[in-house]
Structure 1
């Protein structure tokens, strides 16, 4: 699902540009991304992950469900179809069903339990390098007709705030347990 009201979508983009131009803090910026992307694409779960290729880790910067996806959580990046597509090639991933969720997420049962049966993973890149991802999960088939071009516009608006936080991952120690993607 993509909101096809172009004026409404442009207003969401304007809000994101304004908060960054005004020097909003990271929490405010990610909250506005959550609001805007929810209005445009819909979601039950929204997260933002920073990616550090050197350490093969993703670090959670924002989540609208802190009870299940707390900020600061780390994931180990393994060699997979998803990591090749999203992190290395920088291509958007659309998963339509429970099977797609299970193929990508080790925590698929928890995601299913909150009604997440589809996913839109939007890589955020600068100069061909992936800085992280914005991730929307919702009911089955929700993103089948998502406007990928519009998702890429939102990704470019996320470059600056994400870039500011990527370097922090390198200094963090690995926890005892990390989910894998």
Structure 2
């Protein structure tokens, strides 16, 4: 099913309205999960925060293999240079693209995934995180990228809240 501009606008509106709900960030994540499944579809999704020279996974739909709370030092990789450094979206449409970008490609493939979209979340000129969707091979297209890029700025307050909570802890 092809999404229309109205569908994407409605999804964005739902995400923005979810920020008003108490008990954040769980209500936002529930709506985000629904919106992403309805618009682009996914097998699994992760959201990470760039914090103090590391990445920190703060949301996942695949708790067993990709749990939240995992920190990784930011190493210089082609993927990191593209998404974090240049603040450009990564699109892998096939297994070749997955294998070239991710050291854990075997784990990704074991879940039935062969395409990915990774969209930088940018605030104040800096990449503060990335929204990462994974699906079967050849699922994602440039049209999906455009939809997900539309939602990315809505994640800024959630990531800034995560930074605030980490800095207070």
TM normalised by structure 2 equals 0.90
Which string of whole-angstrom CA distances, capped at 9 and with x for unpartnered residues, describes residues 53-75 of structure 1? Answer: x42x1111111110111111122
CA-based RMSD: 2.1
CA distance in structure 1 between the partners assigned to 2:48 and 2:158 by the alignment: 12
CA distance in structure 1 between the partners assigned to 2:8 and 2:23 by the alignment: 21
Q: Secondary structure at the match of 2:48?
A: strand
CA distance in structure 1 between the partners assigned to 2:168 and 2:110 by the alignment: 34
Q: Paired residue for 2:11?
A: 12
Q: Which has the higher contact order (CA 8 A, sep 6+)?
A: 1
Residues 84 and 37 of structure 1: is their aligned pair in 2 closer, same or farther, counting only changes over 3 Å?
A: same
Q: Paired residue for 2:67?
A: 70
Aligned 1:7-156 pairs, distance under 5 A: 7-23=6-22, 25-52=24-51, 54-55=52-53, 57-156=54-153
Check whether the contact 2:91–2:145 (CA below 8 A) recurs between aligned residues.
no
Residues 36 and 170 of structure 1: is their aligned pair in 2 closer, same or farther, counting only changes over 3 Å?
A: same
Please say which of residues 146-155 and 12-21 is displaced more in the overlay.
146-155
- Aligned-pair CA distance for 1:85: 0.7
Q: Paired residue for 1:176?
A: none
Which string of whole-angstrom CA distances, capped at 9 and with x for unpartnered residues, describes residues 82-133 of structure 1? Answer: 1111001110100111121112222111110111111000110012101101
Q: Paired residue for 1:177?
A: none
Structure 2 unaligned regions, length at least 5: none
Check whether the contact 1:98–1:117 (CA below 8 A) recurs between aligned residues.
yes
Check whether the contact 1:117–1:137 (CA below 8 A) recurs between aligned residues.
yes
TM normalised by structure 1 equals 0.84
CA distance in structure 2 between the partners assigned to 1:46 and 1:15 by the alignment: 18
Q: Secondary structure at the match of 1:160?
A: helix
* 1:159 correspondence with 2:156: yes
